[in-house]
Amino acid sequence: MNDGALTVFLPGKLLLTIVGRHQGERLVAAGKAVGAGGGTILLGRGTATNRILQALGVGDVSKDVLLTLLDDGQVDSVVKAQLSAAAEDPKHLRGVAALIDVSGILRRVSDEGRMETERDRRDGTMEPKWKLISIIVNHGYADEAMAAARKAGAEGGTILTGRGTGTEEDVKFFGISLVPEKEMLLILAPVEKAQGILDAVRSETSLKEPGSGIAYCIDVQQFHYLGK
Amino acid sequence: MNLLAKIKETVISVVPIMVIVLILHLTVSPLSTTLLIEFFIGGLLLIIGLSIFLLGADIGMLPVGQHVGSSLTKKKNLPVMLILGFVIGFVITVAEPDVQVLASQVATVDGTIPRTPLIMMIAIGVGLFVALGLARIVFQIKLRWILICSYLILFLIASLTSSEFVGIGFDAGGATTGPMTVPFIMALGLGVASVKKHENPEQSQDDSFGLVGIASVGPIMAVLVMGMIFGGGNGDATAAAQSAAADEYSILQHFLHIVPEVFVEVAKALAPLVVMLIIFQLTLLHMPKQQVKKTILGVVYTFIGLEIFLTGVNGGFMPAGQVMGAGIGDLGSGWALVPIGFLFGAVVVCAEPAVWVLTDQVEEVSGGHIRRPVMLATLAIGVAVAVALAMTRVVTGLSIWWYLIPGYAIALAMTFFCPPLFTAIAFDSGGVASGPMSSTFILSFTLGASMALGGNPVLDAFGVVAMIAMTPLIAIQALGLMYQRKQKKMEEAVKQQKSRRLAFGKKGGRV
């Protein structure tokens, strides 16, 4: 472990990109070409934006949610690379990208030289125009939350599935532990709509019970439509 | 749009069959113009029906099946879970249209076997094995041991049964797990696995699959047991096979004539499931309203899709398959059947509805690691070999034992080396690959060929579905071994970067 290297927190950005299923790798490749380290792709489900399709229940689309951690210096080039990759193939790489400030990325750096932890956070003061709303609810309720959010002006959302770890002891059943299934709904919304959306979700009847879920908001520093 | 994407995908999977039939029509085995037009209309209906069905499975059947699975587990009441598992397996099997078809087929081999008890036996078989499969997930028994024990017993019973029944019995296993049962049973297993906490990350996905594979054993055993008890009598097989040939109608009438038949079949299959779901919703599930809306839409789409699909298959593919089989069987010694069977096998499996559902779920559960095209290609190779092997039987009349024993021996032996996830997927895909396409198009093709060659269709042609259900077990497990090797290589590469990774601690480095 101690080979002349240090573990430090470096400020940086998290780039969240949502595109169609199987298209995530292409953005990773575009980012890598300009120096991004790589990324993590989660499988999500995009909710329908078209009202008729929504009513017919046929509008949901499979999505790739790509998370890329970037140093401040890489941000512009990687965002530009992903955007231009999308612009070249707008049919397949349609989606959204949101840039989120990260106060510390755990990094291992060598002693010599690369200790520039104090960086000039030039865009830190910028007033964010978009928010990323994350809502974690029990399995099956993300669509309820989305329906409520839509009434408050949300355009669309992406649903990820996961398992909760819970605060209580896991319930045992013949030697296997049971864990609750969760859904996480991500909605990108303009700042002025964000509060309304959160209120709408909170007052949705099926989500009023205590323990039905949690929600939080994150500032988005840059927001882009891909392939548009 | 998902629907457009689905249509595009199904077009890609159905068009090759049509191209091959067209080429054969133009070269070696000409069909009548009417039959050819019917075949192409059938293909069109197939594409539309398959797309709508898959959409319905996506938004209705699969989510609700998973929900039932996870809710059952959360009840933490083993007897209730197993009893309901049995009831689910029983109800959906009694209703499955393929089981009705199978019962008629059995009647042709042996007229003394009563029809209703046979269907009941098959349904009980599926019910018991679904319950067994659920118990396996709870008690964390390795799939391998369940499968090995089941198949050993199966072969023991089979050895005591007359050989007519062996073919049909093994066909039954594949055929009964049809397009309605497969998505639901599969989702049930996924649901149970999804609420289970996995201490060992290596095992995290193993439980998600395998339930269909276990459930497929039930009907085989049921038919064999019935054959052992009642066996001996003789039915009129060729008459039954010939009755499959459709009556003469105009093309439009031809399809319109099929619609109500299929409608009744599909409605019969769906009705008990719907009743069961309503009871579950009121007592166990309590789904929120958006979910209920989607489920209802999904079930409606499944119904419409299956209706259109089966109309196309029965109206266009089945008759064409039989005539084509006879035409090619007439060529020389019939060995031309083997390569053509190979081709048909490769393309037909891609048009099976349940195959799409399975490959989709595999992609989802593996987090995109096991891609659909890879799975489809592997299945295509497996089924191609299966149909080619079945054709060698049609030509030579070799006993089915020469194929089943080595095949299952290899498949079961591979479970010891293959990653468990792939074993589970493999045994599921055995039941999945043998759906309505193979039990109509391929089976009628084989029957036609067998009759043209003057063989005994019951002995030689039946068993083709069994073969289609068997080879994927080997093909998918072979794929698993390849993945395992690739994985090891990748891990070695990762080791070199590990020093960087360590900084994140054990679990924080995922993002």
Residue B84 lies in a domain: yes
- Last residue of some domain: A76, A95, A125? A125
* Contact at CB, B503 and A147, closer than 8 angstroms: no
A118 & A77 share domain:
yes
Structural domains counted in chain B: 1
High-pLDDT (> 90) share of chain B, %: 24
Cα separation, B65 vs B185, whole angstroms: 7
Q: Is B281 on the interface with A (CB under 8 A)?
A: no
pLDDT value of residue B260: 84
- The runs of H, that is alpha helices, within B453-507 are 457-460, 464-502
Cα separation, A187 vs B442, whole angstroms: 48
Q: Locate B262 and state its tokens.
A: 């299929």
From the CB of residue B227, how many other CB atoms can be counted at a distance below 10 Å?
Answer: 26
Q: Nearest CB to B288: which of A171, A178, A206?
A: A206
Q: For A199-225, how does the pLDDT look when each residue is reduced to its tens digit (9 = 90+)?
A: 999 888 778 888 788 999 999 999 999
pLDDT value of residue A110: 60
Sheet holding A158-163, edge to edge: A213-220, A130-138, A181-190, A158-163, A40-46, A61-71, A5-20, A95-110, A222-226
Q: Is B73 on the interface with A (CB under 8 A)?
A: yes
* Contact at CB, B503 and A108, closer than 8 angstroms: yes
> Which residues in chain B touch residue A107, judged by CB atoms under 8 angstroms apart?
503
Say if CB B255 and CB B40 are below 8 A apart.
no
Q: Is A195 on the interface with B (CB under 8 A)?
A: no
Q: Is A6 on the interface with B (CB under 8 A)?
A: no
* Contact at CB, A7 and B2, closer than 8 angstroms: no
> Which residues in chain B touch residue A170, judged by CB atoms under 8 angstroms apart?
197
- Residue range B191-212: mean pLDDT, rounded: 74
A88 & A113 share domain:
yes
Burial tier of B3 (Cβ tally within 10 Å: 0-12, 13-18, 19+):
middle
Say if CB B470 and CB B406 are below 8 A apart.
no
Question: B447 versus A148: which is more confidently predicted?
Answer: A148
Residue A151 lies in a domain: yes
Q: Is A70 on the interface with B (CB under 8 A)?
A: no
CA separation (Å) from A139 to A204, A207, A214?
A: 16, 12, 13
Which residues in chain A (144-173) have CB-CB distances under 8 A to chain B?
144, 146-147, 163, 170-171, 173
Residue B504 lies in a domain: no
The three-point CA angle B177-B183-B184 to 5° equals: 90
Question: A185 versus B437: which is more confidently predicted?
Answer: A185
A88 & A29 share domain:
yes
A176 & A86 share domain:
no
Mean pLDDT of chain B: 83
Residue B466 lies in a domain: yes
Q: Is A117 on the interface with B (CB under 8 A)?
A: no
Residue A100 lies in a domain: yes
Encoded amino acid at B452, one letter: A
Q: Is A84 on the interface with B (CB under 8 A)?
A: no
Residue A45 lies in a domain: yes
Rounded to the nearest angstrom, the minimum Cα separation between A123 and chain B is 23
Please, which pLDDT band fits residue B377 given cuts at 50, 70 and 90?
Answer: very high
Structural domains counted in chain A: 2
Q: Nearest CB to A181: which of B70, B294, B505?
A: B70
For residue A39, the enclosing domain spans 5-125
* Contact at CB, A139 and B70, closer than 8 angstroms: yes
- Give residue for tokens 């391929």: B442
Question: A107 versus B89: which is more confidently predicted?
Answer: B89
Please, which pLDDT band fits residue B9 given cuts at 50, 70 and 90?
Answer: confident
Rounded to the nearest angstrom, the minimum Cα separation between A121 and chain B is 23
Q: Nearest CB to A178: which of B5, B55, B74?
A: B74
Residue A89 lies in a domain: yes
A59 & A139 share domain:
no
* Contact at CB, A58 and B55, closer than 8 angstroms: yes
Report the run of H or E that residue B326 belongs to, with start and end: helix B318-329
Say if CB B320 and CB B31 are below 8 A apart.
yes
Q: Which of B447, B441, B430, B475 is nearest to B177 (CA)?
A: B430
Q: For A5-52, how does the pLDDT look when each residue is reduced to its tens digit (9 = 90+)?
A: 677 888 889 999 999 888 898 999 999 999 888 889 998 998 877 777
> Which residues in chain B touch residue A177, judged by CB atoms under 8 angstroms apart?
196-197, 199
Q: Which of B266, B259, B258, B101 is nearest to B180 (CA)?
A: B266
In this predicted structure, which of A57-61, B94-98, B155-159 has the lowest mean pLDDT? B94-98
- Give residue for tokens 């995290």: B204
Residue B1 lies in a domain: no
Residue B400 lies in a domain: yes
pLDDT above 80 (res B253): no
Q: Nearest residue on chain B to A54, judged by CA atoms?
A: B294
Residue A15 lies in a domain: yes
From the CB of residue B45, how many other CB atoms can be counted at a distance below 10 Å?
Answer: 24
Distance of CA B75 to the CA centre of its chain: 30
ipTM for this prediction? 0.76
Say if CB B269 and CB B97 are below 8 A apart.
yes
Q: Is B200 on the interface with A (CB under 8 A)?
A: no
Residue B197 lies in a domain: yes
For residue B177, the enclosing domain spans 9-487
Cα separation, B267 vs B65, whole angstroms: 19
A85 & A104 share domain:
yes
Residue B506 lies in a domain: no
A62 & A166 share domain:
no
Rounded to the nearest angstrom, the minimum Cα separation between B246 and chain A is 36
Q: For A143-164, how does the pLDDT look when each residue is reduced to its tens digit (9 = 90+)?
A: 899 999 999 989 889 999 888 8
High-pLDDT (> 70) share of chain B, %: 87
Residue B376 lies in a domain: yes
pLDDT value of residue B146: 92
Which residues in chain B (148-177) have CB-CB distances under 8 A to chain A?
none
CA separation (Å) from A123 to A73, A126, A220, A221?
A: 12, 5, 12, 8
Q: Is A209 on the interface with B (CB under 8 A)?
A: no
Q: Is B201 on the interface with A (CB under 8 A)?
A: no
Residue A81 lies in a domain: yes
Cα separation, A212 vs A10, whole angstroms: 35
* Contact at CB, A178 and B73, closer than 8 angstroms: yes
Residue A227 lies in a domain: no
The CATH number of whichever domain residue A212 belongs to comes to 3.30.70.120
* Contact at CB, B59 and A69, closer than 8 angstroms: no
The three-point CA angle B496-B498-B503 to 5° equals: 150
* Contact at CB, B290 and A180, closer than 8 angstroms: no
- Last residue of some domain: A106, A125, A144? A125
Q: Which of A40, A103, A3 is nearest to B500 (CA)?
A: A3
> Which residues in chain B touch residue A143, judged by CB atoms under 8 angstroms apart?
288, 290-291, 294
Q: Nearest residue on chain A to B194, judged by CA atoms?
A: A181
pLDDT above 70 (res B241): no
A146 & A213 share domain:
yes
A136 & A111 share domain:
no
- Last residue of some domain: A125, A154, A183? A125
A12 & A107 share domain:
yes
Q: Is B288 on the interface with A (CB under 8 A)?
A: yes
Interface test with B, best of A62, A102, A176 (most B CBs within 10 A): A176
Q: For B280-319, how does the pLDDT look when each residue is reduced to its tens digit (9 = 90+)?
A: 999 888 888 888 988 999 999 989 988 898 888 888 888 8
Q: Is A7 on the interface with B (CB under 8 A)?
A: yes
* Contact at CB, A61 and B2, closer than 8 angstroms: yes
Q: Report residue A182: phi and psi, to 5°.
A: -125, 160
A135 & A117 share domain:
no
Q: Which of B462, B479, B305, B244 is nearest to B381 (CA)?
A: B479
Cα separation, A202 vs A200, whole angstroms: 5
Rounded to the nearest angstrom, the minimum Cα separation between A160 and chain B is 11
Residue A78 lies in a domain: yes
Identify any residues that bridge with A134 across adjacent strands, giving them in sequence order.
A186, A216
pLDDT above 60 (res B455): yes
* Contact at CB, A58 and B510, closer than 8 angstroms: no
- Give residue for tokens 């045992």: A172
pLDDT above 50 (res B510): no
A119 & A138 share domain:
no
Q: For B109-161, how does the pLDDT look when each residue is reduced to its tens digit (9 = 90+)?
A: 666 677 778 888 888 999 999 999 999 888 888 899 999 999 999 999 988 88
pLDDT value of residue B181: 81
* Contact at CB, A57 and B2, closer than 8 angstroms: no
Q: Report residue A210: phi and psi, to 5°.
A: -65, 140
Q: Is B332 on the interface with A (CB under 8 A)?
A: no
